[in-house]
Amino acid sequence: MAKTTRGTPKAWTAAEVKLMTKLVKAGTPTAVIARQLKRTPAAIRSKAQKASLSLKPRARRR
């Protein structure tokens, strides 16, 4: 059986941060952002918090 190890997290590029910011401001769900950036939802939440971005859903207009 192959031994797996956890490496260090992949560094964020400026392009990834810019795309994440754009998607967050557009109200895109965290899971969708994670799939597009090939990262975990937890990584998205962590980076958004460090960048002072709110992932809370916005109120919908009727």
pTM, full prediction: 0.77
Count of domains observed in the chain:
1
The answer to the question of residue 32 being in a domain is yes
pLDDT block averages, 10 residues each, the chain of length 62: 72 96 94 96 95 79 65
The answer to the question of residue 28 being in a domain is yes
Contacts by residues 44-52 (CB-CB < 8 Å, ≥ 24 positions apart):
44/20, 47/12, 47/17, 47/20, 48/20, 48/24, 51/17, 51/20, 51/21
The answer to the question of residue 7 being in a domain is no
Per-residue pLDDT, 4: 63
Per-residue pLDDT, 55: 87
